[in-house]
Copies of this chain bind each other. A is one copy, B any other.
Amino acid sequence: MEIPFNKPYLTGKETAYIEDAVKSGKISGNGKYTRMCQNFFENKYNFKKCLLTTSCTDALEMCAILLNIEPGDEVIMPSYTFVSTALAFVRQGAKIVFADSRADYPGIDEDKIEELITKKTKVIVPVHYAGVACDMDKIMALAEKYDLFVVEDAAQAIDSYYTGANGIKRALGSIGHLSAFSFHETKNIISGEGGMLGINDEKFLKRAEIIWEKGTNRSEFFRGEVNKYGWVDTGSSFLPSEIISAFLWAQIEQLDKIQLRRKCLWNQYYRLLKPIEMYGNFKLPEIPEYATNNAHMFYLVCKNIKTRTELIQKLGRENILAVFHYLALHKSEFYHEKHDGRNLKNCDKFADCLVRLPLFFELGSDEIDKIISVLTQSLAKSN
């Protein structure tokens, strides 16, 4: 492909920091670079505590364990999301109750959550699609009313914010009880595979560290808080190698530069496509007033699947890779028989019609111009 969908960006210091970690004699988990990354995120985004993980999936699994999810518990989340959002809770035995998306937003329809709440509901998992906030005031109010937990799936939402009715602007992932981030190679800052658990409710702090370290109180031991460490709880090996954390640290150092560039590219797409939206062949994403745009993704919603298929093919012929996104989880081979049969029409629309355009740090403005010219040929016409 002449223009790939994604290209991981090396800031330049990744390998130097990896060598530094090796020379320090410590490349297993929970070392210097892990702590530097965690401290950075805690301070910048105001989490009570962060723990790096080997993937966002693992961070979500930690949430499910921390919330003591058991067979019979129900978890409400959008069907239009990555499989891990559901899988992490399914591994603990949860029943997933899939909510529809909003007509204008793939994340979750905040107004359709309440009707899904039962006595068995334990958690709501909003997904901040494309790094754009769900309306967290609505979701947190429901959680309070029904005594539920909120886990923010912030996989795509690093460095993005939500401003509630009280006027306070808060980082995504710092609002619910717990949150999960991804540093997968397609994200704004990356470590190949990687993730992070954000903890906002203090009652989870101690147990989270234990679950992270294979059910042992090793972290307390190394801080000198206990005399020896042993097996005290369930858990897994959720912590990443220092090799991964050192790589991520180099990315973090360039966060502002990366964000600036991505937003510039995003705005270029938006500015050039806005004039041809009027032909009715697609809709552009709109950022609600309560949300910021972290420029994680640039997507269009085509008017139907035929338009999307033709668009992807046309871009492909010009060596430009554009891709669709999620399949509806409520229709998946694994879960469709467990789904209660409700029709989720907005989810289905995004599954059929949403297309993601190339967006990465090293994408050139001239390349966007080329992409736009193909889009214009396809979409700037009345049918």
Contact = CB atoms under 8 A, between A and B. Distances in A.
A70 to B, nearest CB: 11
A8 interface: yes
A54 B240 contact: yes
A236 B22 contact: no
B54 A214 contact: no
Contacts of A235: 87
B4 A216 contact: no
Contacts of A247: 18, 243
B237 A84 contact: yes
Contacts of A56: 237
A134 B74 CA distance: 44
Contact of A18 (B15, B61, B232): B15
Contact of A83 (B54, B88, B231, B332): B231
Nearest to A84: B214
Interface residues of A, number: 63
Given A241-B193, A334-B232, A14 B8 contact: no
A287 B283 CA distance: 70
A55 B237 contact: yes
A4 B10 CA distance: 33
Given A240-B193, A332-B231, A87 B215 contact: yes
A242 B23 CA distance: 21
A231 B15 contact: no
Contacts of A6: 25
A279 interface: no
B28 A91 contact: no
B83 A215 contact: yes
A140 interface: no
B87 A242 contact: no
Give the interface centre of A21, A54, A83, A333 by most chain B CB atoms within 10 Å. Answer: A54
A90 B215 CA distance: 11
Interface in A51-92: 54-58, 61, 83-84, 86-88, 90-91
Interface of A: 4, 6-8, 10, 14-15, 18-19, 21-23, 25-29, 54-58, 61, 83-84, 86-88, 90-91, 184-186, 190-194, 214-216, 228, 230-237, 239-244, 247, 327, 329, 332-335
16 contacts: A6-B25, A15-B18, A18-B18, A27-B185, A27-B192, A87-B215, A87-B234, A87-B235, A91-B236, A185-B241, A191-B241, A192-B243, A230-B333, A231-B333, A233-B334, A243-B243
